[in-house]
Every structure is written in C-alpha cells, then in structure tokens.
Structure 1
Amino acid sequence: MMKASTPKFILTLAIGLTAVLSIMMTAFATPAVNSGIHNVPIGIVTKNDDMYQKMAKPLDQRGFDVKQYETEVAMKDAVSDRKIYGAFEMSASGDMTLYKATAASTAVAQALETIGQKVVDQQKVAAKEQIQGMQAQTTDVTMLKTLDAKLQAIDGKSLRVQELRSFPSRDSKGAGLVAGALPIALGGWIGSVAIANVVKGKRQKFFAAIAFAITGGLGLTAVIQFGLGTFDGNYFITSLGAMLGIAATAFFVLGLLEMLGNGGLIIAAITLILLGNPLSGLGSAPEMLPAGWGFFGQLLPPGATGTLLRNLTFFDGHAIAMPLLVLASYIIVGLGLFFIGKKSVLVKDEKEA
C-alpha cells in the first residue's frame, strides 16, 4: 500500500513550486515592464566637437552610449563589427541622416528612427518660427518671397534614412529569429530529455546528442532560412552555429540529468526556458533589457545562440567570440557532468553487486 504524503512534504512542494512560479514571472515580466534604452551603443558622424556635444547630450540623457566617428567609413565599420547599432549625421545645411542596421535589432532601429524624426520635426518648428518672425517685421515683397521659399523648403525636409544591414524582404522585421528563441531553448531541452529516457547506454546517448545537434542545426536553419526567409547568408555556416547552440543545450541537459536526475531536469528548465528564453534579447536587444539582465541573458544558451546566428548571417562573423565561448563552456561543463555522472553510476552498480 502506497504511503500517503505528509503535510510537511506537501508544504515543501507548494513552496518550491511557488518559487519556480516567481522566477518565471520575474524572468518574463521584468524585461517586458522595464525594457527600454539602457546604454545602447550608437554613433554620431562629425569632425566638429561642438556639434558632437550638442547632439550627444540629449541622446546620453535618453540612455544611449554615444561615440563619435569622424568619417562615414569608420562608422560603417563599427556597425559591421557590432560595436554600435546605428548612427546620426548632421550636414552643414542642417539635414539629418540616420544610418541604421535593422538586422542588429529591429527595436533599436525603430527607436532611432523615431528619435531622428522627432529632432527633425523640432528643427522645422524652430526654423519656421524664426522665419515667420522675420516675415512679420518686413514689408519688402522680394524678401517676403524669399522667406516663403525658405518655409516651403523647410516643409519638405525629412529624416534621411540609410539602411546598412537589413533582413531579407520576406521577413523584413526578423520575426523568424525572434520566434526562434523558444524552439532553441525548449526544443533542445525536450530533445535531450527524450535521448536520456529512450536511448540506452552512455556511449549511445553521447552519439545521439551529437546526431541531434547536427540534424537539429540543419533543420532549424532550413526552417528559418528557406521556410521563413529570415536568413539569407551561407546556409551551412549558419547551420554550424545552430548545431553548436543545440549541442550546448543537449549536453548541458544530459550532464545535469546524469549528475542530479530529476533535480537536474528542473535546473535545466529554469536555466534554458524560464530564464534563457525571455532574457535572450532576440526580441529587442540585450541593451534594451534592464541593467544586468541583458548581459546575463547572453551567458545562457538561447541568448548566445541567437547572437551567434545573427552575427554569422548578417555581420560576416564579427563579434562571435563571446557567444562561441559561452556555448563551448556549456558543452564542456555538460560533458564533464555527463562523464562524472557515468562514474558515479558505475560506483553505485559495483556496491550493489
């Protein structure tokens, strides 16, 4: 006859589940409520220090991390190297140009365009007020015609936008990459649990995880690139990045399962799904999450995998050192736990024998 659970066990279980629920709520809600501009790196193209200070100050106050670039070429190199998300340039005639990289972050690109347009609108209002004041103080017909022409020219001014790195036209907002965060986390977790429960033998589980990473990477990239049209880079190179991300997830989960059993499964779920998915920054940018959360999200497999795929596909492989290091660390730690777990099982079997 099965022994009934004690009140102490029930209370402990309830408290544990409440803690998991609280972690889930914090991880999902905090970024959504507090997302915004948090030291997002952008540039200003100008050789004039006074102009730079004038433009940088309001942007600093909005939360941007502003850098000065003396030439357009230097600025574009910085965008390609993933050092900045975009830049503003003001011409001698007062025309403003925005250089944006939508593929780096749709949310940041939209924010920069909104800010740039607001600046242009403010300039137009100020210029109109100045000219209208001049019109009120003169009766000279020639002067009035000249001022009228200037007013019309001001009305025609708008923010000039130059796209530096865009998503393909089939998915111009990169929705496929954003949606891929959950499959990367949940799919890797589910696949690893299936391998742990269905495949018999430690060596067989090891090779099954490798096979899953290879086929999963090829399949995930195929869906995003050929099915959704989000990627347009080298399919096989991008697939290698996806394989690494899935391998990191798979071996991390398998290692925790071998070491801790069901307890490891809970840790993996919290790390990869409850925290990794909402903190990946794929929906906005790591710098748009609350301070510290964005960086932490890049230390988890979903965030590192998303950043790796983005930089491989759209930025010629620049700034991939950190995500590679993060994913390699999860693979190494996972394999270590996997083999340590194997030894502990052998010791247990010998004692029972």
Structure 2
Amino acid sequence: MKSSYKFILTLVVGLTVILGIMMTAFSLPAVNSGVHNVPIGVVTEDKATYDKLAKPLEDKGFKVTHYKHNNSMKDDVTDRKIYGAIALSKTGDVTIYEASAASTAVAQALTQIGQGMVTQQKAAAKAQIAPMMEKAQDVQTIKMMQAKLNAIDAKQAKIVDLKSFPKADPKGAGLAAGALPIALGGWIGAVAIANMVKGKREKLAAILAFAVIGGLGLVAVIQFVVGTFDGNYFITSLCAMLGIAATGFFVLGLLEVIGNAGLGIAAVMLILLGNPLSGLSSAPEMLPSGWGAFGQLLPPGATGTLLRNIVFFDGHATAMPITVLAAYVIIGGGLYYFGKRSKI
C-alpha cells in the first residue's frame, strides 16, 4: 500500500519541526551565551568600595554578594553558591578567587575583570605621577618617581584557583564531552535492549546491568584515561550509574508505552536539547535566561552537574541533580511497568 500525500506532508512538517528545535537548541545558546545572573562575590570591608565595584559588575550580568572576609566567601565557593570572587585589599591590591572546576568560562571572565581593574589602577596612578615628574628638578626626586612608575608597571592581579581540574585536563574537556556519551549511550543501550532482549523482567535486568557496568566504564575512561576526574572512583561511578539509569529507564519506558515514536521524543529531550543546554562547557548561568535552568532538568545537565559537584566540591549542591535523575528513573520505571508492548 502506497503512502498517502497527507501522511507524507505530516511527516515532512514533523521533521521540519525537529530540525527547527535542533537549530534553536544549538544556535541560540551559542549566539546569546554570556553572563546571565552568574553569582560571584566581592570581598572588601568597606561598604562604599563594595558599592563602587558591585554596580558595574551587576551591569555586566553578575549577581554580586558582599563578603567582608575571605573565609565565608571560600565556604560559599565550595558550597556552589558562587563561582568566585574579586577581593580588594585596603592597599588596593586585587585578588581574583576563582573555581575553574565550576566553570572555566566564568573563571576567565573573572580574570579579565581583575586584570581590567589593575589596568585602570595603573592608568590612574600614572596620571597622578606624570605632572609631578614634569615639575621635578633634582635627580633624587626623579629617581624616586621613576621607581614608583616601575612598581606601578609591575603590579598584577593575583589569581587564586580554589577548585581546579587535574593537570591532565586543566580545562575539564572530558567532563563537557562526557554529557553526550551519557545521553546517547543510554539512548542506544535502551533501544538495543528493547529490541534484542526478550522478556519484561529480562529487559529490566539488562538495563540495570548496563547502568552499573556503563557507569564503571565511563568513569574509568574519564578518570584513568582522560584524567579529568581525581576523586573516589566508586562514588563517582555511582553518580554516572544514576545518570545512565535515568536515560535508559526513560527511553525504555517510552518505548514500552508508545513504541518507536518514543525514540523521537527521547532523542529530542536527551540529545538534541539535553546536550547543548547542559551548560557543561561553560555554566548554566552563561546560557540565555531560562535555557540553562531547563537544561539542568534534563539528564545530561543533571548528570554533569552531579559529577562535577561530587568530584570537585565535596558533594555540595547535589540534591537537585539527584532528584532530577531519580525522577527520570521513577517515571521511566512506571511507564515500563504499565506498558504492554513487551511480553512477560
């Protein structure tokens, strides 16, 4: 029986919609990426100095918190409440506290801001000394002024990386690249199991085994081959297992309820949207408003954030990604349980 033109038109329109979603998911975050309410701190004991520094930072898109001491600021970096801070001492020295393991993009932005502040300080100091140099007559005064200028030229912003990636992968490329294998691997694994394993209980056992072995294998590659991770291998593997299980159960559940149509839904959610919106290569707050938060509700973003926070931030701020991934496991498991396509 030949396909009707109505069916062909519906199929073409549907494929065009999918292409549009792909284009939006990949291009819009890339075009509009930047600072969107990125939380950082300013460390200074003087309120007036804080107000002077905070306003231009807020105008750039940062969400700024005032700290009077470094200790509380460092605690908030570890707790994943802020990405870093700019500290200004009483003598005007600039120190940039960053956490490149949280986001290399935000760390680079903070470094540029700190260097810009020092450049402004140099220009202002030279502008004060220049007239005095012109009026100076004796050699001793000229030498003293020149020494001050040399000291000004040598001034630099101090960079302190509180949480960094290992030397084997200083930019954390392995973590960013790992989001797609988790999403695509879980998708492919669930499809293969659904089509090749017979029996409902057997499929359930297969997806559980795939999550366990896949999690161990994925983390082994990232930790021992690529060198991105340096934490507890087994604890990190448990997080990867949860990520793969979330993807696998969700896909398996959709297949069990609506058949092959579920593959398209899963592909859009987990790969076409989940990967570019994960924020792993920058930060969720570096994506356009709303997109980053949505990406954290998808398995690639939630898994990447969970792995990042477990390995580099002592397990802080893991409740949200664990909840998201557990929800996918539960929803997928529920769909699979009530679905009728597989024989017991």
Mapped contact 2:96–2:157 kept (Cα < 8 A): yes
Quote the residue 1:86 is aligned against: 84
Letter in 2 for 1:110: Q
CA RMSD, 1 decimal:
1.3
TM-superposition CA deviations, 1:228-262 (whole Å, max 9, x none): 00000000000000000000000000000001101
Please give the alpha-carbon distance, in whole angstroms, between the structure 2 residues aligned to 1:214 and 1:287.
31
> Distance in 2 between the 1:33 and 1:184 partners?
25
Give the fraction of aligned pairs with identical amino acids, expressed as a percent: 67
Partner of 1:122 in structure 2? Answer: 120
Aligned positions of 1:337-352 closer than 5 A: 337-342=335-340
Deviation readout 1:306-348 (Å, 9 max, x if unpaired): 0000000000000000000000100110011111103x777xx
TM-superposition CA deviations, 1:1-32 (whole Å, max 9, x none): xx111111111111000000000010011111
Shift of 1:140: 4.4
- Match 1:169 to one of 167, 170, 173: 167
Partner in structure 2 of residue 233 of structure 1: 231
**Counterpart selection for 1:49 from 47, 50, 63:** 47
SS of corresponding position for 2:40 = strand
Q: Deviations over 1:81-107 (max 9, x none)?
A: 000111011111211000110100111
1:218 corresponds in structure 2 to 216
Q: For residue 133 of structure 1, report the CA deviation from its aligned partner.
A: 2.0
1:203-232: CA deviations, max 9, x gaps? Answer: 001111100000010000000000100000
Query: What one-letter code is carried by the residue in structure 1 that aligns with 2:163?
Result: R
Offset, 1:144 = 2.6
Partner of 1:35: 33
**Greater mean alpha carbon deviation, residues 47-56 or residues 230-239:** 47-56
The one-letter amino acid paired with 1:229 is G
Provide Cα deviations, 1:87-139, integer angstroms capped at 9, x if missing partner.
01111121100011010011111111111111111211121111112222333
Matches within 5 A, 1:6-25: 6-25=4-23
CA shift, 1:142, in A, is: 3.5
Deviates most, 333-342 or 314-323: 333-342
The gaps in structure 2 that reach 5 residues or longer are none
Distance across 2 between alignment mates of 1:231 and 1:99: 22
Q: Distance in 2 between matches of 1:128 and 1:341?
A: 75
Q: Distance in 2 between matches of 1:147 and 1:64?
A: 38
Which secondary structure state, in structure 2, belongs to the residue aligned with residue 171 of structure 1? coil
Task: Please name the residue that 1:71 is paired with.
Answer: 69
Q: Aligned partners of 1:250, 1:299: CA distance in 2, in Å?
A: 16
Change (3 A) 1:10 1:103: same
SS, match of residue 332 in structure 1: helix
| AA aligned opposite 2:280 | L
Q: How many pairs does the alignment contain? A: 344
Structure 1 length-normalised TM: 0.95
Q: Using the alignment, how far apart are the partners of 2:203 and 2:189 within structure 1?
A: 11
Distance in structure 2 (CA, Å) of the matches to 1:335 and 1:303: 21
1:245 is aligned to: 243
Question: Contact 2:296/2:321 (CA < 8 Å) preserved in 1?
Answer: yes
**Shift, 1:146, TM fit:** 2.2
Distance in 2, matches of 1:139 and 1:330, equals 78
**Distance between the aligned counterparts of 2:297 and 2:225, measured in 1?**
29
| One-letter amino acid of the structure 1 residue matched with residue 153 of structure 2 | D
Q: 2:199·2:342 contact (CA, 8 Å) conserved in 1? A: no
Alpha-carbon separation, structure 2, partners of 1:157 and 1:68:
25
Residue 135 of structure 2: aligned partner: 137
Cross-structure match for 2:58: 60
What 5-or-longer segments of structure 1 have no aligned partner? none
Question: Which residue is equivalent to 1:320?
Answer: 318
- State the secondary structure of the residue aligned to 1:282: coil
In 2: Cα distance, 1:134 partner to 1:259 partner: 82
SS at match of 1:113: helix
Equivalent residue runs for 1:107-118 within 5 Å: 107-118=105-116
Which residue of structure 1 lines up, in the alignment, with residue 200 of structure 2?
202
Task: Report the secondary structure of 1:306's partner residue.
Answer: helix
* Alignment partner, residue 96 of structure 2: 98
Is the contact made by 2:166 and 2:228 (CA closer than 8 Å) also made in structure 1?
A: yes
State how far apart, in whole Å, the 2-side matches of 1:269 and 1:12 are: 19
